[in-house]
Amino acid sequence: MTTRRGFIAACAGMAAAWMARPAAAETAAQPLVVYDDELKNGWQSWSWAKVELAVPAGGAKPIKVQGDPWSALALHHDAFPTTGYNKLTFMINGGAQGGQDLMVKIMVDGKPVDSNYVIQPKAKTWARVEVALKDIAAEGKTIDGICWQGQASAYSPYYITRIQFE
C-alpha cells in the first residue's frame, strides 16, 4: 500500500523527469504561413503574372494565377533564414485545363535562384505538394521569397493556397 507521502514523492519525480525532456514543439520550428485565404506574416505579392488574391472557390480563397511565358507568382518577405524548416508545402489546383509547367524557385536578394523542380498541377483537382528545401537550393539559406514560374508557353489559370514552410 502506497502512503500519501510516497505517492506525492513519486508524482513529483515523474513531473521533474517529464519537465526535463524538451517538448517536440520546442525543438521544431513552427510552420511559417505564407498564404491561407490571404497573405500572412508580412508576405507580399511581387508577381510578374496576372494574379488575383483571395478568389472565392468553395470554402477557400486561393490565389488565381495565369500568365505569359516565363511569368511567375512571386511572393516576397523580408530576408529570413530557412534553418529549422525542411520543406515548402502548398495546395494547388490546375484549374479547367491543368498541366501547367511551373518551376518552383526560392528568391535571394529579390532574384529567383535556378531550380529544376517542376510541377504540373492536374485539372480540376486539389493536390498537396511537399517540396524539400534541399531540392530547390533553399536548405540552410537566407531567402526573401518564393515563386512559381511558368515556362516557355503562356499558361491557363491555376489556383494555389495553404502555402507554408514547415
Which residues in the chain come in under a pLDDT of 50?
Answer: 1-27
pLDDT recorded at residue 99: 97
Task: Burial-class residue 102 by CB neighbours within 10 Å (0-12, 13-18, 19+).
Answer: buried
pLDDT recorded at residue 152: 95
Bridge-partner residues for 81, per DSSP? 142
Bridge-partner residues for 63, per DSSP? 160
The cell for 72 is: 511567375
In CATH terms, the fold of domain 28-165 is Jelly Rolls (2.60.120)
Helix (H) or strand (E) holding 82: none
**Matching residue, cell 513519486:** 10
The pTM (predicted TM-score) of the whole model is: 0.82
Domain boundary assignment for the chain: 28-165
pLDDT recorded at residue 25: 38
pLDDT recorded at residue 74: 97
- Residue 24 DSSP label: H
Q: Rounded to whole angstroms, how far apart are CA atoms 91 and 132?
A: 15
- DSSP, collapsed to helix, strand or coil, labels residue 31 as coil
pLDDT recorded at residue 29: 76
- If you write DSSP's letter for every residue of 11-22 in order, what string do you get? HHHHHHHHHHSP
